Amino acid sequence: MHLNAVLIKSGFEDYYLHYWSDVPPYAFVERPVLADSILTGCLGNFTRMHQLRSFLCRNDVMQYSMHRMSDHQVLDAIRHMIKSGRAVVVIKRKFLGNQFLKFNGKQLLWGDCTGNIKKWWPAVSGRPGYQGKGQQNLPGQGPLPEGTWMVKQSEYQKISAEDAIVGLTSIVGLKRGKWPGSVIAWGAHRVWLHPKDGTNTYGRKDFSIHGGWKAGSAGCIDLTSYIGEFVSMFLEYGKDMELVVEYR
């Protein structure tokens, strides 16, 4: 992490306090409510409170009164920086060996080389009423076919402002642009999937992992509002991954 970042919580996902201008492009910015609870956990930890004081000292307005501030006042000052947009809490992960993905029809799971699940997100595939194992052969309705798929870094795409506008002009029966339906249907990110040998696609194609406003898809894995967190983790990992699809 950047020299000016402060570690405020550690684990598989490390949480760092960052100046907004120094945030890495792949970073997932934590929501202010959760960031506040993480900051509160620093109370009583001498090392972390000292680092937070040092973080504030880099702000010329604060350094002259720092010695008079209690730990609670230090946290209040940090909270003010977050609310004003000058600082954010971002996540950095510790990846052990090769990572993998698994989709079971209800969740997209992220695992490490030991087989342990490190993270999961609610996810669906298929239209409502067509999301079961028995419908995976139905084009345009059923879920992603079972088997093994490749999730490649080179297949990641982020919607542009132009594509978002063009996609919004799509209507029923007339799809326009590369992102028909825009962020409503796709969210702001997607990663295209490619079947590995031995995977029966039932003649279906053009699947991805994407987001959107409402759960449901024509066969893609739909992460809805969780797509941003997944993409942040995927880009930070920086390697292609295998996705195993196996329905319960």
pLDDT of residue 193: 98
Residue 57: pLDDT band (50, 70, 90) is confident
Whether 238 and 204 share a structural domain: yes
* Residue in this structure with the two tokens 């132009």, named with its chain if needed: 162
Residue 1 has pLDDT above 50, yes or no: no
Residue 28: pLDDT band (50, 70, 90) is confident
Instruction: Please give the tally of structural domains in the chain.
Output: 2
Q: What's the mean per-residue pLDDT of the chain?
A: 91
pLDDT of residue 142: 97
pLDDT of residue 27: 81
pLDDT of residue 2: 46
Whether 59 and 26 share a structural domain: yes
Query: Above pLDDT 90, what percent of the chain?
Result: 70
Are the C-beta atoms of 58 and 80 separated by less than 8 Å?
no
Tokens of residue 46, six digits: 């001498």
Residue 162 has pLDDT above 80, yes or no: yes
Whether 63 and 157 share a structural domain: no
Whether 34 and 114 share a structural domain: no
Residue 153: pLDDT band (50, 70, 90) is very high
Whether 68 and 148 share a structural domain: no
Whether 141 and 52 share a structural domain: no
Whether 38 and 156 share a structural domain: no
Query: 126: Cβ–Cβ under 8 A, 6 or more apart, which residues?
Result: 132, 135, 136, 141, 142, 143, 144, 216, 217, 218, 219
Highest mean pLDDT among 26-30, 153-157, 180-184: 153-157
- The dihedral sign for the CA sequence 35, 40, 41, 43: positive
Residue 3 has pLDDT above 60, yes or no: no
Residue 1 lies in a domain: no
Whether 109 and 224 share a structural domain: yes
* 100-103 β-sheet, strand order: 117-122, 107-111, 100-103, 241-245, 147-158, 189-195, 208-210, 221-222, 124-125
Are the C-beta atoms of 219 and 210 separated by less than 8 Å?
no
Whether 118 and 142 share a structural domain: yes
Residue 162 lies in a domain: yes
Task: Render pLDDT for 168-224 as a digit per residue (tens, 0 to 9).
Answer: 887 656 788 999 999 999 999 999 999 999 999 999 999 999 999 999 999 999 999
Whether 74 and 193 share a structural domain: no
Least confident among 96-110, 165-179, 217-231: 165-179
Identify the domain boundary among 93, 121, 139.
93
Identify the domain boundary among 34, 59, 93.
93
* 6-9 β-sheet, strand order: 6-9, 13-19, 87-93, 28-29
Q: Determine the structural domain holding residue 78 and report its residue range.
A: 6-93
Instruction: Please report, as a single letter, which amino acid is at residue 80.
Output: H
pLDDT of residue 66: 67
